[in-house]
Amino acid sequence: MQTFGWPEAYFILRAASWTIALTAIAFVIGGIFGGVLAIMRLSRVKLLRRFAAGYILVIQSIPVLMVLFMSYYGLSAVGIELPPFLAASASLAIYVSAYLAEIWRGSIESVPRQQWEASASLALTRGQQYRYIILPQAARISLPPTVGFLVQLVKNTSIVQVVGFVDLMRAGMLVNNATYQAFQIFTLVGAIYFAICFPLSRLSRHLEKVMNASRSH
């Protein structure tokens, strides 16, 4: 029987880098779409508003696992074969876009109405209002929930193992199946998750402090 040693630990660490890569890709791509959806959700054009609301409602109402199944097994059943990494990143990005859209919509809406009025009265266009007045204030409000969601995402990426993708969690399970040294293995896996997530929370708190400081010289 194999024992848990350096090669196994290395295997787990490599898989951890895939977890980070997947999280980063899903967060960035999902973030871009989420931002667009948040603005659409608040658009004056009814059709855009409806479309964004419908998309968010559907994605939030189904398990992300199902999106993953659809994009991997569902699409391959109709003849479109996506590689596991692509199916996984696309599915997670779809999931992220819907949730970030809602978090950011809420943040934008919590900027006081008077900020819109004051900037409109200064002849700014709607785009300029967003860019110079609303989004900078919304970004500050959205920081804690956004980072909170990102930390969740790091852990939720573990579902990609259902399409055969070896992430941090899956690597731990594979090594466990070969060595049966569950305690050491999952201590390591847990420690790695912690090492990824803890700095994110700290970074969030740090950024909040910096942003607060910039308002009170």
Partner 1 sequence: MPAVVIDDVYKKFGALEVLKGVSLSVDTGQVVAIIGRSGSGKSTLLRCINGLEVFHAGRIEVAGHNVDQDPKRLRELRKDVGIVFQSYNLFPHLTVGQNIMLSPRITQGVSPAEAMTLARDVLAQVGLSEKFDSYPDNLSGGQQQRVAIARSLAMRPKVMLFDEVTSALDPELTGEVLLVMEKLAKGGMTMLLVTHEMNFARTVASTTVFMHQGKIWESGPSKTLFADPQTPELRNFVSAGAH
Positions that interact with partner 1 (CB under 8 A): 114-115, 117-126, 128, 132-133, 136-137, 140, 214-217
Q: In the bound complex, what is the minimum distance in angstroms from residue 62's beta carbon to partner 1?
A: 38
Beta carbons of 52 and 101 less than 8 angstroms apart: yes
Shortest approach of partner 1 to residue 28 CB, angstroms?
25
Q: From the CB of 32, what's the least distance to partner 1, in Å?
A: 23
Residue with Cβ nearer partner 1 (20 or 42): 42
Q: Least separation, in Å, of the C-beta of 39 and partner 1?
A: 17
Task: Characterize 173-209 residue by residue with b for buried, 16 or more Cβ atoms within 10 angstroms of its Cβ, and e for exposed.
Answer: ebbbeebebeebbeebbeebbeebbeeeeeebeeeee
Query: Smaller CB distance to partner 1: residue 132 or 180?
Result: 132
Closest CA to 96 of 143, 34, 155: 34
Q: Which is nearer to partner 1, 61 or 214 (CB)?
A: 214
Backbone angles phi, psi at 44, to 5 degrees: -80, -15
The residue (of 46 and 217) whose beta carbon lies closer to partner 1 is 217
Residue 89's Cα: distance from chain center in Å?
11
